[in-house]
Amino acid sequence: MNVTELVTVFGGLTSENDYDEDSSTPTIDYEDGASLCDKALVRQFRMYYEPALYWIIVILGAIGNSMVVWIYTHFKNRLKTMTDVYLLNLALADLFFLCTLPFWAADSIYGWTFGSALCKTVSAIYKINFFSSVFLLTCISVDRYIVIVKTITAQNSKRSRLLYSKLICVIVWFLAVLLAIPEFLFASSKEDMDGNHFCSLIYWNNENNRTKILVLSLQICMGFCIPLIVMIFCYAVIIRTLLKTRNFQKHKAMRVILAVVAVFIFSQLPYNSMLVFQATQAANTTVTNCNEVQQFDITTQVMKSLAYMHSCLNPFLYVFVGVRFRKDVARIFHSYGCVSAQKKSKLLQAGPHRSSVMSDTETTNALSL
């Protein structure tokens, strides 16, 4: 097998759908034709590692994001700001994303047994909600920038901004669908030499892996680099503005901001670094050693799982740190008899004195949601 063929096979092992890269070809035949790279070790790692972790992410994410949707539907007057609209859409995007994980958990154990049509559908749903989630996080940072840094402008355009937020959400979902087109085109269920099926992106006429490199570059740029730059700029200016205020809650607000940025970087940077390495491999293969290929595949699985955890952390970072949401949760639980009147009263009384950058108050000069 020549180097070009090796790139193609290696690319299939770490395919762009980001779930099933190691379930495809069981061996790699290198240039000399003498050494075979057995992928059984990687498949065994996936079998024991992925299912339990994915189900933990699904359960925690479903609870947190469902609670967000529940609050917004239970309290009809909650959608009063742009960020409220973004948070609701973010929760829905994360819920849709979580719906795809059970398929990949089953795939790591049994292989892909759901056919090509469902392979395309699940892969596309994942990518749509991945991009929409990242874009919505970026929109939240921009809205916080406008509210905190451009306070007068934000107050004077509150109604129009709320209308714009709904239009922006439509644009976000539309753009996410466009970026998921490769999944609709290339995702397919294939059978390997051992009769195992796998769901992967199979590029047609992929001369010099240009299509694969383009798809990976789009995900890295649109799904990480550009959102990260926007978030860092917005939150850096917000922190500078907070430092100039005399509000005693500014340190708590800055801790929340730093936590938001840190979690995004911690969860997304390692995996996107692996995607950069994949793109480099597709352009110019440098890794041909079997052990290195196996280590790369296993590392990619771990980094990928870390990135997925962001979907179950979003509700706690962007919602439940806010005073209003804690109050709403207390009211809902009290209405169902889950919280005593005394505990509910304590939660409601504690709220006004604990403003955060993720909650709405009139008294903090728009330092919060």
Which of the four pLDDT bands, split at 50, 70 and 90, describes residue 350? low
How do residues 238-247 score in pLDDT, each as one tens digit? 888 888 877 6
- CB count in 10 Å sphere of residue 125: 17
Distance CA 292, CA 297 (A): 9
CA 80 vs CA 14, 158, 166: distances in Å? 43, 9, 11
Q: Is residue 175's pLDDT more than 80?
A: yes
Rounded to an integer, the average pLDDT of 190-219 is 81
Rounded to an integer, the average pLDDT of 47-53 is 90
How do residues 115-156 score in pLDDT, each as one tens digit? 889 999 999 999 999 999 999 999 999 998 988 888 887 777
Rounded to an integer, the average pLDDT of 289-313 is 86
- Quote the pLDDT of residue 220: 93
Which of the four pLDDT bands, split at 50, 70 and 90, describes residue 323? low
- Quote the pLDDT of residue 221: 94
Rounded to an integer, the average pLDDT of 309-314 is 87
- Quote the pLDDT of residue 320: 64
Rounded to an integer, the average pLDDT of 186-203 is 82
Q: Is residue 23's pLDDT more than 60?
A: no
Which of the four pLDDT bands, split at 50, 70 and 90, describes residue 15? very low
- Quote the pLDDT of residue 358: 43
Rounded to an integer, the average pLDDT of 259-281 is 87
What percentage of the chain has pLDDT greater than the value 70? 73
- Quote the pLDDT of residue 150: 85
- Quote the pLDDT of residue 163: 84
- Which fold is adopted by the domain 3-353? Rhopdopsin 7-helix transmembrane proteins (1.20.1070)
Q: Is residue 265's pLDDT more than 80?
A: yes
Query: How many CA atoms lie within 13 Å of 155's alpha carbon, on the beta-carbon side?
Result: 10
Rounded to an integer, the average pLDDT of 184-204 is 82
Cβ–Cβ < 8 Å for 337, 58: no
- Quote the pLDDT of residue 33: 35
Cβ–Cβ < 8 Å for 275, 220: yes
Any idea which of 3-12, 158-167, 305-314, 325-334 has the lowest mean pLDDT? Answer: 3-12
- Between 80 and 12, name the one with better pLDDT: 80
Rounded to an integer, the average pLDDT of 220-235 is 93
pTM for this prediction = 0.79
Q: Is residue 364's pLDDT more than 80?
A: no
- Quote the pLDDT of residue 24: 36
Distance CA 62, CA 99 (A): 9
Cβ–Cβ < 8 Å for 31, 289: no
Q: Is residue 61's pLDDT more than 90?
A: yes
- Quote the pLDDT of residue 343: 59
- Quote the pLDDT of residue 42: 80
Cβ–Cβ < 8 Å for 358, 256: yes
Hey, which bits of the chain come out as E strands? 27-29, 36-38, 187-191, 197-201
